[in-house]
Structure 1
Amino acid sequence: MSETKFNKTLLSVSHVDFSYPKRNLFTDLNFSIANGERVALVGPNGIGKSTLIDLIRKQIQPDDGQIICHGEINYVPQVNDQTVINDSKSAGEKRLDLIENTIWLPGSLLLLDEPTVYLDDTNIQNLLYLLKNYDGAILVASHDLDFINQLCERTIILQPNNAVYYPGNYAQYLEQNN
């Protein structure tokens, strides 16, 4: 990838605040993603990873601040087992099909919400290969730390009403901060 292409900002999140009734999720959230970057979004259940993805996708609006995407967004949501009850494919096969079909769509930012759920080790390795060769940027929310450590070179760690931005993968962050 050329250096110019890599430095093109695709997503800017500037001074974003967002609250649910009786619960503040984000205050003054700021980050950007450039073309070609692989960024992990990590944090405990309920911290706001999926909500942040919905904000980026403009499914919900921030209370304050702005989110600007310079390009097309493709999104692969979480898949639960109930969505495949009447299907002959396993949840893992359905999941991988959805991701494979999405990464070939024209777009510059790929949002993945728990992409390895229901995938076995072989399919996770196949997914890593596809994503490492994806032409645009990727923001992946996942609890699969091994997967994100293999894929991502930047990490956003969501904490209660705070976000930590780290210029390496999550394993490097843990090593430096323990």
Structure 2
Amino acid sequence: MKTEEVLKVEHVSFRYEKENVLEDVTFSVPKGAFVGLVGPNGSGKSTLLKCILGLLKPQQGNIYLFGTPISEFKEWHRVGFVSQKANSFNTGFPATVYEVVASGLTAKLGLFRFLTSKEKQAVMEAIDAVGMGEFRQQNIGELSGGQQQRVFIARAIVSKPELLILDEPTVGVDVHHVQNFYNMLDELNRLGITLLLVTHDIGTITEKVTHVACLNKHLYFHGKADEFAQLKDHDLSKFYGHHLHVLSHQH
């Protein structure tokens, strides 16, 4: 029985004016996977995410979400997105954790609708899922960068998306809390959410994700995490364009 593809990127190329950013990129994300997308700065990762989210249109190739071409896809509540928000969040923003997470239901419910008891319960469950239950009435501006990112993930999952896309979510997260952060993502994946994580943290990739995609304009590698772990340092250095040594984060 063939595994359902949540995301399929097929021969995608993109350029800004005369600069090629993506060249013939093809890969897929099966349902239930935890995919790490890695690559150096300027490798096209952010551009690829914008294409997947329908913000940019590739000059060549096709992208499918849940089997539907991106140009025809309407069910955006099935997709959650978390950007590098914690690094530049306005600490004076007057909203509690509960209010920020509840705002994630706006697209689904409309701007001026009151939450039902079932929807309030969904907000609480999302907050608890990221380990922020004790902070639900605290102003988000009073939280650390890592705590804020947890809240943004709760906001992204409150509408129960099937695919969660995260763009370098550990930017602004204290190094001592990064491992706990990845443990939380692992738990969300176990709950059935398919994850696509953009990161520079190659060491963590091999410990947490199920699949890895290495992008540097071209797709240099796409496969299971254990296959990626067997790559030699000189293979990765060739891909990154400079010497690279992968360090494990396990203690």
For residue 35 of structure 1, what is the aligned residue in structure 2? 31
State which drifts further: 27-36 or 65-74.
65-74
2:168 pairs with 1:162: no
CA contact (8 A) 2:206 2:229 kept: yes
Change (3 A) 1:102 1:143: same
Change (3 A) 1:60 1:94: same
For residue 61 of structure 1, what is the aligned residue in structure 2? 57
Give 5+ residue unaligned stretches, structure 1: none
Q: Separation in 1 of the partners of 2:197 and 2:186?
A: 15
2:195 pairs with 1:138: yes
- Per-residue CA distance 1:42-96 (angstroms, 9 max, x = gap): 0001211111111100011111111010172111111253313322122221111
Change (3 A) 1:143 1:134: farther
CA contact (8 A) 2:33 2:189 kept: no
CA contact (8 A) 1:166 1:173 kept: no
Identity of aligned residues (%): 31
Change (3 A) 1:100 1:149: farther
Per the alignment, in what secondary structure is the counterpart of residue 89 of structure 2?
helix
Aligned length: 173
For residue 168 of structure 1, report the CA deviation from its aligned partner: 2.6
State which drifts further: 126-135 or 14-23.
126-135
For residue 84 of structure 1, what is the aligned residue in structure 2? 90
Change (3 A) 1:29 1:122: closer
Q: Extract structure 1 runs of 4+ deviating beyond 3 A.
A: 170-178
Q: Separation in 2 of the partners of 1:94 and 1:9?
A: 31
Q: Separation in 2 of the partners of 1:7 and 1:150?
A: 23
More strand, by proportion:
1
More helix, by proportion:
2
2:180 pairs with 1:123: yes
TM-score by length of 2: 0.62
Q: Give the letter for the 2:230 counterpart.
A: Q
Q: Separation in 2 of the partners of 1:125 and 1:149?
A: 12
Alignment RMSD: 2.3
2:229 pairs with 1:171: yes
Change (3 A) 1:106 1:124: closer
CA contact (8 A) 1:84 1:94 kept: no
CA contact (8 A) 1:78 1:115 kept: yes
Give 5+ residue unaligned stretches, structure 2: 67-74, 93-140, 237-251
CA contact (8 A) 1:84 1:91 kept: no
CA contact (8 A) 1:42 1:155 kept: yes
Q: Separation in 2 of the partners of 1:126 and 1:11?
A: 23
Q: Give the letter for the 1:97 counterpart.
A: V
Change (3 A) 1:46 1:134: farther
